[in-house]
Amino acid sequence: MNIKIKPLPNGIGVECIGLDLSQPINEAIKQTLYSSWIDNGIMVFKNAAHTIEEQLNLSRCFGTLEVHPVKSLVSESDYPELMVLESTAQSKLSVYYREAEPQKPFVGFIPWHSDLVFTTQPNHGAILRSVENPAQGGHTAWIDTIAAYEALPASTRKAIADLEVEYNFCTSLLDAPYGRDPQLRMQHKGERNFPTFPAVAHPLVRQHPVSGRLLLNLSPLHLTRIVGMDDRQSDELLQELVAHVTRQRFSYVHEWQPDDMVLWDNWRTLHSALGYPLGERRLVHRTTISGGGLAMGRTLEQTAVA
């Protein structure tokens, strides 16, 4: 089996061509895939996996799989390591609209975020596979935070080098203080049984644990403040940095086709589910790659007690 890795448009991420998941993946190909993932952060596999088992086998090339801690966000699955994102279940959880277009409700929307950034041990990555696509919408977008960091002025990189940011699990998108669409409104809010997560602090600039490259560790969703900074100064700096990291030049948007998969490095990317019209059918399968218990931040409640 011969595979080819080529850059995606806009220079963010790569596409893997020629991977046949009906065959065993040998060690040489596994190493090529893993290295490309670490080097580029985002990998696209078009029309690649046709079964859950093929998705699981590919996912294990990148690490141990784990179960997502917020189970109420997804449907139940016969595979413990598989998250099922299904339109009927999502419509029972949240239905949104924008103030300018109240006649166009939509579901499946999540703004820019890094997975589990509200914990001290975010997962290393994940793979999404499209099973059924809506007739409209349903796109997913990613941002490379290494590219965003490297594009900052040298003076800004120096000023933020030793800062920490606080994250708190945000249970409602309408409560998010950063990166929220001011037009966003909620038409329906279903029952939510979210677990409780204590506040955590992460470095604003972080060295990637594998590649060693520096990145802008800023997830707009769940973002609260800069630790130890005056509230006004913190807000001004975070507004500036959020506007910077979410620029289109650092992003890749995927328009799904059946059996497409996208793998991302959660330690260096943000992603956003752009949503789709209420009533459309969509089914997505996700696998989550463990961070191996590597601590990325600290729990603020524990620090305060100590």
Report the percent of the chain where pLDDT is more than 70: 95
**pLDDT given for residue 73 in this prediction:** 52
**pLDDT given for residue 78 in this prediction:** 77
Structure tokens, 134: 């809506």
Q: In angstroms, what CA-CA distances link 222 with 119, 167, 170, 256? A: 10, 5, 5, 27
Residue 112 scores a pLDDT above 50: yes
Q: Give yes or no for a contact between 119 and 300, defined as CB atoms under 8 angstroms apart.
A: no
Residue 17 scores a pLDDT above 80: yes
Q: In angstroms, what CA-CA distances link 254 with 72, 162, 216, 281, 300? A: 26, 34, 22, 18, 36
In whole angstroms, give the CA distance from residue 136 to residue 134. 5
As to burial, measured by CB atoms within 10 angstroms (0-12 exposed, 13-18 middle, 19+ buried), residue 138 is buried
Query: Would you place residue 93 in the very low, low, confident or very high pLDDT band (cuts 50, 70, 90)?
Result: confident
Q: Give yes or no for a contact between 19 and 45, defined as CB atoms under 8 angstroms apart.
A: yes
In whole angstroms, give the CA distance from residue 150 to residue 153. 8
**pLDDT given for residue 171 in this prediction:** 85
Query: What domains appear along the chain, each with residue ranges and CATH number?
Result: 4-305 (3.60.130.10)
Per residue in 50-78, pLDDT (tens digit) is 999 999 999 999 999 998 766 545 555 67
Sheet containing strand 251-254, edge to edge, reads 184-189, 94-98, 101-113, 269-277, 140-144, 251-254
pTM for this one? 0.94
In whole angstroms, give the CA distance from residue 150 to residue 216. 9
In whole angstroms, give the CA distance from residue 303 to residue 306. 5
In whole angstroms, give the CA distance from residue 257 to residue 50. 12
Provide the sign of the torsion angle of the four alpha carbons 285, 89, 270, 298, taken in this order: negative
Average pLDDT for the chain: 93
**pLDDT given for residue 67 in this prediction:** 83
Q: In angstroms, what CA-CA distances link 151 with 148, 155, 267? A: 5, 11, 18
Per residue in 185-213, pLDDT (tens digit) is 999 988 777 788 999 999 999 999 999 99
Three-state secondary structure call for residue 236: helix
Q: Give yes or no for a contact between 290 and 176, defined as CB atoms under 8 angstroms apart.
A: no
Per residue in 265-296, pLDDT (tens digit) is 999 999 999 999 999 999 999 999 999 999 99
Q: Give yes or no for a contact between 112 and 143, defined as CB atoms under 8 angstroms apart.
A: yes
The better pLDDT of the pair 228, 9 is held by 228
Residue 302 scores a pLDDT above 60: no
In whole angstroms, give the CA distance from residue 147 to residue 20. 31
Q: Which of 3-7, 191-195, 225-229, 287-291 has the lowest mean pLDDT?
A: 191-195
Q: Which of 53-67, 111-125, 178-192, 213-227 has the lowest mean pLDDT?
A: 178-192
Contacts of 24 (CB under 8 A, 6+ apart): none
